[in-house]
Amino acid sequence: MLKELYIKNLAVIRETTIPLEKRLNIFTGETGAGKSILINGINAVLGQRCSKDIVRTGCDKAVITALFTELSPEVCEKLAELGIDCGENEISISREINADGGSVARINGRSATAAMLKEIGSMIINIHGQHDNQILLDSQRHMEILDDFGGDNSLLEEYRVTFRELQITARRLGELKNQEKSRIERTRYLSEVVKEIGALDLRAGEDDELEKELAASENSQRIIAAIGAAVNAINGDEGANDIIAAAESEISSLTDVSAEISALYERLSAVEIELSDIASELEKIADKAELNTQRVDFVRRRLNDINKVSKKYLADSTELVKMYDSACEELTRLEGSNDEIKLLAAKREELLHKVTEQAKALYDYREKVAERFVSRVTEELEFLNMAGVVLAVRHEKGKLTVSGMDTVEFLISANRGEEPKPIAKIASGGELSRVMLALKSVIADKDSIDTMIFDEIDTGVSGKAAQKIGIKLKEIGKVRQVICVTHLSQIAVMADNHLMIEKNIVDGRTETTVTQLDFSGKTAEIARIMGGDNPGSLVIKAAEDELRKASEI
């Protein structure tokens, strides 16, 4: 609970310490005295955005410190997660707002972010202001209210887990299907690559090897042709040996005549022998260089096939082998994605069936909750002087959403015999206030938030209805700390702790003070609310009577 609120230099409040009690705390005061400033101060320590304009004129900064005690186990657990020691189950939250627009927050003296304040604040205080009545005008929020009343969110949580899984599956399936056209085109291209390159059964560098082999074969042809011609020139008809033999024959008879001719004859015989030997060696070389014409034809055809594919894909044999391997891998992946589409489609159908069944169970649960909700809230509304009211819940099935397959809208008829219609269309401000109070009342024991703040919950009501609101607030105060800002005496008399907000002029400047009232002070303040600034004795006596009656409730 909020035990104490310290405020310094906040708007017209120079400095004040406000003590608060467990049960019903009521703030009253003249219009413009600064009641809304208190709510702004509490909002500040709860992490809400603050304007530098709320800093008191002429001051460097405003300071708001709130002391919270008797923290729930959930709050202590959250503080532990944030690394904050809550000691004796209490924490001090402070917020400094600088005149230059900056701000500093602390929890138990340790620096904290606005997000941390919001997270903790949402667990310890529930503030209901006039704008919160707009929740009732927004049918989209009615399901939240109904679920809060039900108190058991297990079915909703299970449904949402499946629903989100269905969303993820459907999204992935959609992506794959959108990619299907390009996947088919890509598969067709890759299949062609695999077919054409695979048919070659290539080795990396094979084209270079074949080019060299073909070049060597072409050299062999030239060698064989040249050797053939040379051998023919030596040994052929009218070849060199025949000419030499003829020359030998012509001078053979002269070898005995001239020693010089004999020597030349010897040389001719040696040349003949040398030429015959050269021809023999050349023939041996020709035999070694003999071509395998079938191999040459194969090499030419092979190179031609490889060059066609190389030209098409602008790649040599090594690059073609890499292209082939890459295409095979990608084809495997693409074929796998097709399998994934089938698996995801089956999974989506399975999840759709599951989530639909869960949505039906959630709908049935809410149907039962709605019956109890109408009964409880109607009781509260009757107590709050809306005896003729008829509350109904329009609960219909629709498409699957993150909240289920149903829609919820609250209907109301403020006059007996009239058909219930959407609250947004017929409820007045006073009726909205009482409906919201009724909702807060029936939900009060469903959560662990210790403090509830009502800022002018009495808007648009008076008389007996206001008295009933006061009684209801006092009733809620038995199980929760309630802080209420009001301008109605019927509500103010119910206070367990009555605080008066008063505006005065001190040293030429306006200052707002907050005073905790005793019975005498309560009487004077209630009398002022009932009869104005100078109430007569009858009004004062009436105020005393109302306070005594309230103390007996």
What does the pLDDT look like over 30-44, one tens digit per residue?
876 667 778 888 888
Q: Where are the domains of the chain?
A: 1-129+456-517, 206-315
Provide the pLDDT for residue 354: 95
CA-to-CA dists, residue 413 to 395, 416, 440, angstroms: 17, 7, 20
Q: Which helix (H) or strand (E) holds 242?
A: helix 240-251
Q: pLDDT: is 172 or 35 the higher one?
A: 172
Q: What percent of the chain has pLDDT over 70?
A: 90
Q: pLDDT, tens digit, for every residue of 351-399? A: 999 999 999 999 999 999 999 999 988 888 888 887 778 889 999 999 9
User: In degrees rounded to 5, what are phi and psi of residue 65?
Assistant: -130, 130
Neighbours of 117 (CB within 10 A): 21
CA-to-CA dists, residue 426 to 68, 251, 414, 419, 430, angstroms: 40, 150, 8, 11, 12
Report, as an integer, the average pLDDT of 331-352: 82
Q: Is the dihedral of CA 497, 501, 502, 507 positive or negative?
A: positive
Q: Which CATH class is domain 1-129+456-517?
A: alpha beta
Confidence of residue 400 (pLDDT cuts 50, 70, 90): very high
Provide the pLDDT for residue 495: 93
Place of tokens 């608060």: 20
Confidence of residue 129 (pLDDT cuts 50, 70, 90): low
**What value, to the nearest 5°, has the Cα angle with vertex 115 and ends 110 and 119?**
90
Please tell me whether the overall predicted TM-score, pTM, comes out greater than 0.85 for this model. no
What token pair was written down for 436? 């919201």
Provide the pLDDT for residue 369: 94
Spatial separation of the C-alpha atoms in residues 115 and 148, rounded to whole Å: 24
The answer, yes or no, to whether residue 409 has pLDDT greater than 70, is yes
> Which of 292-301, 461-470, 474-483 shows the lowest mean pLDDT across its residues?
292-301
Do the bridges between strand 481-485 and strand 451-455 make them parallel or antiparallel, or are there none, so unpaired? parallel
Q: Which helix (H) or strand (E) holds 87?
A: none
Spatial separation of the C-alpha atoms in residues 137 and 146, rounded to whole Å: 15
| Residue 308 CB burial class (10 angstroms; 0-12, 13-18, ≥19) | exposed
Q: Give the bridge partners for 393, in sequence order.
A: 410
What token pair was written down for 74? 């959930």
* Closest C-alpha among 501, 498, 514 to residue 550: 498
Q: pLDDT, tens digit, for every residue of 76-105? A: 888 888 888 887 888 999 999 998 888 898
The answer, yes or no, to whether residue 537 has pLDDT greater than 70, is yes
The answer, yes or no, to whether residue 168 has pLDDT greater than 90, is yes
Confidence of residue 135 (pLDDT cuts 50, 70, 90): low
CA 92 to chain CA centroid, Å, is: 33
Confidence of residue 292 (pLDDT cuts 50, 70, 90): low
Provide the pLDDT for residue 525: 92
Provide the pLDDT for residue 455: 77
Report, as an integer, the average pLDDT of 311-330: 87
Spatial separation of the C-alpha atoms in residues 245 and 240, rounded to whole Å: 8
**What value, to the nearest 5°, has the Cα angle with vertex 369 and ends 364 and 372?**
135
Confidence of residue 290 (pLDDT cuts 50, 70, 90): low
The answer, yes or no, to whether residue 502 has pLDDT greater than 70, is yes
CA-to-CA dists, residue 121 to 115, 118, 495, angstroms: 10, 5, 24
> Can you spell out the DSSP letters for 282-298?
HHHHHHHT---HHHHHH
Confidence of residue 133 (pLDDT cuts 50, 70, 90): low
> Which of 8-17, 208-217, 272-281, 283-292 shows the lowest mean pLDDT across its residues?
283-292
Spatial separation of the C-alpha atoms in residues 471 and 208, rounded to whole Å: 101
Provide the pLDDT for residue 220: 67
